Amino acid sequence: MELTRAWVSEVTDGSSAGPATIEPVGIGVGFDSRTLRSGEVFAALRDVRDGHEYVAAAHERGAAFSIVDRPVAGYPVVEVADVREALRRLGNAARDQMTGRVVGITGSVGKTSTKDFTAAALGAALVTHAAPASFNNDIGVPVTLLGAPNDVDVVVVEMGARFAGNIADLCAIARPDIGVITNMGITHAEHLGGPGGVAAVKGELLEALPPDGVAVLSADCVTSLTHRERTLARVITVGTEATADVAVEDVVVDAELRVRFRLRTPWGSGPVALAARGAHQAINAAQAATVALVAGVGFDPVVAALASAEVTGWRMRLEQSPSGVVVLNDSYNASPVAMEAAVEALAAFPVSGRHIGVLGEMRELGEWSDEQHAAVGRVCARTHLDVLIAVGPAAAPLADAATAGGVTVHRVADAAEARELVCDLAGPGDAVLVKASRALGLEVVVAALVGTEAVA
């Protein structure tokens, strides 16, 4: 949407300052001066870095103006009490102006992939906007809303949570009409109080839906279904069971792990082929298809859109090293469910050499950490992983369980050691899976193997 300094000042109780010979009009908001697009408004957030130090760089890239909470001379700005709170107010105001619908997506795993599939499916027939990356917090959700074009029909918003109340807070900004919960697992259990706490906070999305809204839930997630009573909205279940409202049948993966399945829905049925990799993507794509079908997109256009949809960042990306090593890059983040699915995907990949897993810590699991890491180790053994490189101290139970199951295991302290070791071990014909929580930075392992920079 278009943003003027006058409007931003009014909404945020801020004040314009700096040069004003020509009143700039911004199109959307950005918060990273390195990736800011010309014409966007720069939000000078204080986080790991102080965004105020990058106002000059943002304007060199073409920022219309900046939102700041301390004086910055020489540039058109709106001065506010707090930039983060200002974004929240602007997100609310942007939602007020929308005549289209908002889709909110949360869950313990698969949020971003489902967001990408949903945007593609809706975009087959409707003016659709979604964030280009995993913008799922109190910064990313307002930025997503503010980036929507004026004629938007549907905005797709991803919602993450680390603490109770996070989803409710995001829903207060986005006010979703359609809600999707991919599943309710154990991600961030340390802060949320275990599986029950995770389910409670993810279910906040259900409570936020209006009575004439729609909730799309995974029929394969028992916890998700037990929380369906938390909404007055219509509930549609999606899963592999025949009793699901929308059924995923006959799932297969090809030699490059791309997914094929049959989708059975009240709006039509037929085969679906995805460019995305991993059998677990079938449910994500089916939930996305359900959203688009509910919104009035035809079955055939939805299927066609899903066929070409790409998922964001380092998620099940297949890459090839110059030496002939196949790399399954899933290094963006990790949770127990996603880690197990990735290991099973690796095992299904046909290679002449070995299957090697570079698997690191899954963070923020609290007292459930040892148990969940050990479960992944058992999956490594069950799928006959040839070599495991376990990264980080918290991955010790993973290494122990895999060792007990007959896997050859190497233990390393960090990404740098993992990079050095796997480059020595992996050879032509081998397949290497790289996955861990984002904080471990295992993208450097992929970069070393394939000879590229560690950039998403």
pTM for the model: 0.79
Separation between Cα atoms, residue 103 and residue 148, nearest integer Å: 13
Encoded tokens for 443:
């993208």
Under 8 Å between Cβ of 112 and 182: no
Sign of CA dihedral 197, 203, 205, 209: negative
Phi, psi of 251 (to 5 degrees): -75, 130
Q: Does residue 285 come out as left (phi exceeding 0), alpha (psi in the -120 to 50 range) or beta? A: alpha
pLDDT < 50 regions, the chain: 454-456
Going along the chain from its start, the domains and CATH numbers come out as 2-80 (3.40.1390.10), 98-308 (3.40.1190.10), 317-450 (3.90.190.20)
What one-letter code names the amino acid at 438? R
Q: What is the pLDDT of residue 25?
A: 78
SS3 per residue for 390-403? EECHHHHHHHHHHH
pLDDT attached to residue 23: 63
**Percent of the chain beyond pLDDT 90?**
68
Other Cβ atoms less than 10 A from the Cβ of 151: the count is: 8
